[in-house]
Amino acid sequence: MTVLACEIMTPSIKAVPQSWTMERLARFLTDNEITGSPVTDESGEIVGIATLKDITEFRWNASRNEQSSQLTPEEEQEARRLRMVIFEEMGKVPVEVRDIMTPIVMSVDEQTPVKDIADIMMREHLHRIFVTKDRKITGIITTYDMLKLISDKALTQRCAATD
């Protein structure tokens, strides 16, 4: 018997509003011991996903030190100084979740076999994918949920029987 998405998904989804600040998102993820969360618009519709990786990439891109061999040492020093001034000014304006989230929302139907989900997650390099029923999100499957297939002997046997 094939194992389906609805059998391993996590039905409770902790979503965040797109208007939250990046700092509030970071606290939320840390407090809930999760690495990512769906992002909702003002009407509650999921419009993307925001992860710790998004926060890290934003901060890294804002502070990275690009070297250019065409600049003199004095020009490089001035460029670094200007980047720091810009970064400090950016810190005064709160960065919102909508500014760093990934707007693409990948999903599968509740009746999708987990083998197909694993293929999608591997192909797209995903750590989480939403589960839907009648185009409404009913849950989420993370890499942690996929590990259930290995740790739960009955699920493992069912998966092996379908190959």
Each domain of the chain, given as residue ranges in start order, spans: 5-56+96-162
Query: What pLDDT was estimated at residue 81?
Result: 79
The letter for the amino acid at 21 is T
108: tokens are 């599968």
Q: What percent of the chain has pLDDT over 90?
A: 44
CATH architecture of the domain with residue range 5-56+96-162: Roll (3.10)
Distance CA 48, CA 86 (A): 28
Burial label, 116 (beta-carbon count in 10 A; 0-12, 13-18, 19+): middle
Tell me the residue length of the chain. Answer: 163
DSSP H or E run through 107: strand 107-109
Distance CA 146, CA 43 (A): 31
Partners of 40 in the β-ladder: 17, 46
Strand pairing report for 136-142 and 128-133: antiparallel
Angle between helices 153-162 and 143-151 (to 10 degrees): 90
Distance CA 21, CA 34 (A): 17
- What is the per-residue pLDDT across 21-74, written as a single tens digit (0 to 9) for each? 988 999 999 999 888 899 999 988 889 999 988 888 887 765 555 555 577 888
Q: Which residues of 137-151 are buried (b: 16+ CB within 10 A; e: fewer)?
A: bbbbbbeebbeebee
- What is the per-residue pLDDT across 125-154, written as a single tens digit (0 to 9) for each? 999 999 988 878 899 999 999 998 888 888
For residue 83, name the pLDDT band (cuts at 50, 70, 90): confident
